[in-house]
Structure 1
Amino acid sequence: MSNPIPFYDVVQIGYGPVSEVMALALARQGRKVAVFERWRERYPLPRAVCIDHELYRVLSALGMSKDLPAVSHEGPMYRWFNAEWKELLAIDWKSESISGGPEVNFVHQPTLEKMFEEQVQACANVEVNLGWEAVEATQTADYVELVVRDFETDERRTVRAKYLIGADGANSLVRQAIGSTQEDRGFEADWLVIDVLPNEGVTLDIPPAAQYCNPARPTTIVPAGIKDGRYYRRWEFMRLPHESREDLEHEHVAWELLSPWVRRDQAVIVRHKVYTFRSLLADTWRKGRMLIAGDAAHVMPPFMGQGMCAGLRDDWNLAWKLNLVLDGKASDSLLDTYQPERRPHVSDVIDLSMYLGKIICIPDAAKAAERDEAFFSGKAPPPPAFPRLTDGILRRDETGEVQAPAGLLSPHGAVRAGQRTGRFDDVVGLGFVLVLRNGASTTQLGARQKEFLEALDAKHVVIAAQGEKTPAAALIDVDDKFIPFMQEHGIDSMIVRPDFYLYGAVAGSGDLNELVDDLAADLERHGVSFESAAHFVTA
């Protein structure tokens, strides 16, 4: 008698940071997950070097808030200079963010991934299979089937799951299986990436974070994270038209390029390799029970440090939707909102990264001089604003347009509840949250709306400024994050989605029931309904 084919809630291909965090998010929901990764050992060298405030909040929500400070450090001012070291542009990565803490934190990716891996290993419901290559993915109306092979022995196995997530990189098998093509956004440049570990006691006289936009050799200088109390540094040098990739990959060439900044007796080279920076965006992110995330769905230039961040946003967006679907509280049409929400957002991030890339990737002196003049005269267009959500589960007006401030990332910071002070997510919990500026607004909620919020397991809290006369149960806005945000946008009440984006908001308590009804209607369109019982039924 043959062995039965193993069945999981979700199977994932790939075991990089995007897959690790996806597995952890699903495990926290109680899902049975299997991960298959071709390589037996984790890639030991850094690639990504930073996470922004939004993803710092996400990782904290997944249980890593105590560990993150040890594996990350605050980002510095990010400056762009011309060949004469005159500033063209500055991005303040250390400024206070809407999520609390700095806009950007730098990380040493292998150390960060080790933290992810330890979190996953503590989850008994996640099975990690290293050394198994995905060979073929197919699906039926009821399940997805994946064939994998042992990379060393060629042994084959078949597994099934309700859903398959391909976090399997730029050459994704799953992207091919769903028949997705890629849009090439037109950016392509070869850069030599060098990671350096300064010797003990060595302090390098270099900018904390900079783009040296010198046409003679466009150069990036940024932190590369912290490991065991020691700070790594990264240099990236653009390949010039007359050079070959092979020329740049010689170690003596790496030291020659580093020579203005660091000597051989001051540091060791941890890695030097030429990478091609590109801008690619998959056209289809889901087909039936198969989905893609991370580099399988999008590839971008690194100049905003958003490559890994974008993949982790994919995870967080998918996680709350899969939670409703796998619990039987929504039809899988809810997953149809994944691409409309994530693709335009990441497309805008690619545009922002390309905008910055086009500033530095100029090896021609005359064109660089034109660029410099445009910035110094104020004629250069400013960087695009960081994007918001523009489609999907967002409140709309009567014309069907997304109604501001829906789609904005919600504020986050420390709040006080009675004698307890902590991060909002820790004090309130995760999921849908109704945030009220006025305690009297709670009296406006109708019985049907209360029932819906209970069925959705939504929290509702009253937020108040410090020193303000408030109901005893109100949360005090210790970090002054919520009240200024709500005042700026004229908000009395707002609903925050599980991924921390605003579903919608209203200016007066009299509109509160309509706001809740709109969310109910939006979810009902994806198979969720609430009728009279305080639980969901699948429509």
Structure 2
Amino acid sequence: MRYADQWRKGRVFLLGDAGHLMPPWAGSGMQSGIRDAFNLTWKLREVLSGRLPESLLDSYEAERAPNVRFYTEVAIQLGRIIQQQLIEEELAAMAPKPGELPMLRNPWYDAGWCTGEVTSDGAVGKMLPQPRVVDSAGRRCWLDDLLGDGFALLGAGIDPASLLTPEQREQWDRLGTRYFTVIGVDSAGHGHDDIVDLDGSLLSWMRGHATTVIAVRPDRFVAAAQRSGLAVPCSS
């Protein structure tokens, strides 16, 4: 494995294989490069538009580097298992004990552009699930397709804007944020910004992280949650 010592110098950024190389065993090399690009491009868009300060770009390496190192270590360990032809025995040994987090889980950030403390049981810093949903017009699609390429606030059964202070609403509106109410298939609709969670996985995920409202970044990581505060993260 190889890592660049520095991922940014002035206006030059390294991402994907230019910044890190990993063995192929976990199939995470290209995915990591895509996540690098997604993380960086929405930040460049916001900085170039003047909506957020240039200091936001410093969070790129802070967020991505630890995640890349984790998946690189996973790939190395899987490679050793495969090469030693002990797949079943080693995978069983890698299985989490009761109460432990699994070795492979959705990407997460320990620090970066987010509001509040990042904790193992909180939503902040976690990557959002990707369930099948239905919009208020009856269109069935992936959640990504419905959220678009900007910021979004999601409320579990409530209008997320109803929990914002006037100052917080102004902050999110300045970023072009959209507001959605997530409901189950048996729930009555609230309006044109409803998202019907077909299998309940998104609502279950929010309940599991003890939050009713989350603020989602363009790269689908949670920037803020009701539990730790819904203000737009500071970039200075």
Q: What is the CA–CA distance in structure 2 between the aligned matches of 1:292 and 1:426, rounded to whole Å?
A: 28
1:285 aligns with 2:7: yes
Q: Quick check: 2:154–2:160 contact (8 Å CA) kept in 1?
A: no
- Map of 2:130 onto structure 1: 412
Equivalent residue letter for 2:123: P
- Map of 1:435 onto structure 2: 154
Distance 1:454 1:358, change over 3 A: same
Distance 1:464 1:282, change over 3 A: same
Question: Could you say what secondary structure the match of 1:516 adopts?
Answer: coil
Q: Quick check: 1:299–1:307 contact (8 Å CA) kept in 2?
A: yes
Q: CA deviation at 1:334?
A: 1.3
In terms of fraction of residues, the more strand-rich structure is 1
Q: Quick check: 2:133–2:143 contact (8 Å CA) kept in 1?
A: yes
Q: What is the CA–CA distance in structure 1 between the aligned matches of 2:71 and 2:119, rounded to whole Å?
A: 20
- Map of 1:385 onto structure 2: 104
Distance 1:329 1:419, change over 3 A: closer
Q: Quick check: 2:51–2:175 contact (8 Å CA) kept in 1?
A: no
Q: Quick check: 1:396–1:402 contact (8 Å CA) kept in 2?
A: no
Distance 1:462 1:331, change over 3 A: same
- Map of 2:99 onto structure 1: none
Q: Quick check: 2:153–2:160 contact (8 Å CA) kept in 1?
A: no
Distance 1:374 1:472, change over 3 A: closer
Question: Could you say what secondary structure the match of 2:31 adopts?
Answer: helix
Show the 5 A alignment for 1:93-492. 279-362=1-84, 375=90, 380-382=93-95, 384-386=103-105, 387-397=107-117, 402=119, 404-421=122-139, 422-439=141-158, 442-473=161-192, 474-492=194-212
Q: CA deviation at 1:424?
A: 2.6
Q: What is the CA–CA distance in structure 1 between the aligned matches of 2:142 and 2:220, rounded to whole Å?
A: 14
Q: What is the CA–CA distance in structure 1 between the aligned matches of 2:160 and 2:55, rounded to whole Å?
A: 33
Q: Quick check: 1:394–1:402 contact (8 Å CA) kept in 2?
A: no
Equivalent residue letter for 1:297: G
Q: CA deviation at 1:385?
A: 2.5
Question: Could you say what secondary structure the match of 2:3 adopts?
Answer: strand
TM-score by length of 1: 0.39
Q: How large is the RMSD of aligned CA atoms in angstroms?
A: 2.4
Equivalent residue letter for 1:450: R
Equivalent residue letter for 1:330: L
- Map of 2:98 onto structure 1: none
Q: Which runs of 5+ in 2 are unaligned?
A: 96-101
- Bigger drift between 382-391 and 403-412 goes to 382-391
- Map of 2:229 onto structure 1: 515
- After superposition, the C-alpha distances for 1:386-435 in whole angstroms (9 at most, x for unaligned) are 342112112323xxx55722121102233223333133333342211100
Distance 1:440 1:349, change over 3 A: closer
- Map of 1:87 onto structure 2: none
1:495 aligns with 2:215: yes
TM-score by length of 2: 0.85
Q: CA deviation at 1:374?
A: 5.8
Equivalent residue letter for 2:74: L
Question: Could you say what secondary structure the match of 2:229 adopts?
Answer: helix
Question: Could you say what secondary structure the match of 1:309 adopts?
Answer: helix
Q: CA deviation at 1:455?
A: 0.3
Equivalent residue letter for 1:352: V
Larger radius of gyration: 1
Question: Could you say what secondary structure the match of 2:181 adopts?
Answer: strand
Q: CA deviation at 1:441?
A: 5.0
Q: Quick check: 2:130–2:142 contact (8 Å CA) kept in 1?
A: yes
Q: What is the CA–CA distance in structure 2 between the aligned matches of 1:373 and 1:465, rounded to whole Å?
A: 39
Q: Which structure is higher in RCO with an 8 Å CA cutoff and minimum separation 6?
A: 2
In terms of fraction of residues, the more helix-rich structure is 2
The number of aligned residues is 226
State, as a whole percentage, how many aligned pairs show the same letter.
30
Q: What is the CA–CA distance in structure 1 between the aligned matches of 2:148 and 2:87, rounded to whole Å?
A: 49
